[in-house]
Chains A and B, each alone.
Chain A
């Protein structure tokens, strides 16, 4: 069953420009454990369900023999004890399997993973910060996660406002981001690919649009991404982009957004330094295309009503200029 669902998921994943969000994908240690457990649980519970249905149908179809009521009662008594024993055994087996799977995952992930990423939840976007403990360098991005395959990563989960929940189904289980608490989640990606996650705890008006794009890639690809990410923002290349740059630096944009290497250093909204190399805009609201950038910047409230980016009311020239600048931020 799992394989069929995985096939289903894969098929649809190929159709999408972002990754699959199916939990049968099994691209991380916990994800694989889940698939195995699910197969076991389905088998055991399915078996018991079959017994119930067979028993029910038998009782409905077969007529009791009047003269054998006492025998029937005794048989039912024996059946009762057998059934009870079977249920106890089944539930114990499933409980033990669950514990074993849980402990296996814990054992397979090291206590101090070398890669640490801080994920802070906001209404309605993910603030993702990689910190290199040795050099002290920080890579700040938003709504995306790049991870090297086969390397355990510890996510430190915090929230700036309400309870969110970090969840990339293909990689594994979810963990809440609770204001006032720091939660940890250790993941071990086992398969490369692009995947998608979504906030899994209702967090307000635009909970439906709080997705995260995850890329699992080979280690050297990850290092290349890391190096490119640490670089400051690409300067504007042409006059239109320069006009956009001016607008962004002197108007409302810089109050909330950071673009490293420029005067814009607001911490309220997502970091835009390498905006154009992300797969989506607005935490999964739009795919990253030129047209969608126009739509977002022109009216963020139309696309994602209630989100914290205000409607500024740019005129056509300002809009063209700003988008020309933003799409150069690779």
Chain B
């Protein structure tokens, strides 16, 4: 993206459409994200001393609020045959991804960790099989299955068989915040 349009984006920052700039960016290349530093699955949602949970990963917004990333995630979901175990989010051999139950955490970096490391009872580890950027794109799409990202980031349907209701029309409960702007307590 040329620097000139970046400048005009900044100049028009007063408009609500500034969010649109981030939503619409098409980062097909990206910088190679660090494969490490994703942490393990959370044992419990409770924090010692009743403190608030740690802030979400700063990289999360780049993917979750980006329509291109969610769309690429959707294509990867089909190509990597995630539907084989998870159906189109409804679950089968694997747990459903559309609901608010997250065995291993539902924040962006936690989903990425699940994809990267694999999980007991059948979730394969994709480390080395997918690039970190692809994992983050998949995580953004997975969160869209439970309608976590903003409505204007999502698309109405995919160009394939439709097994579920349109993401833009799913009822939305922001259960697990992922962007710094939406930090709230997690539900039990």
Contacts and interface: CB of A to CB of B under 8 A. Distances in A.
Interface residues of A, number: 21
Interface string A64-76: 0000000000000
B129 A311 contact: no
B120 interface: no
Interface stretch (B10-18, B28-36, B84-92, B178-186): B28-36
Interface string B156-170: 000100000000000
B159 A179 contact: yes
A308 B159 CA distance: 17
Contacts of A97: none
A201 interface: no
A306 interface: yes
B103 interface: no
Contacts of A327: none
B159 A301 contact: no
Say what secondary structure dominates the interface of chain A. Answer: loop
B169 to A, nearest CB: 24
B28 A306 contact: yes
A313 B26 CA distance: 19
A312 interface: yes
Contact of B32 (A268, A307, A313): A313
B128 A311 contact: no
A29 B139 CA distance: 51
A252 B129 contact: yes
A84 to B, nearest CB: 50
A268 B79 contact: yes
A252 B131 contact: yes
A235 B165 CA distance: 48
A302 interface: yes
A305 interface: yes
Contacts of B75: 308
Interface in A283-330: 299, 301-302, 305-308, 310-313
A312 B128 CA distance: 10
Closest 3 CB pairs of A and B: A313-B32, A301-B29, A268-B79
Interface of A: 161, 179, 205, 250-252, 254-256, 268, 299, 301-302, 305-308, 310-313
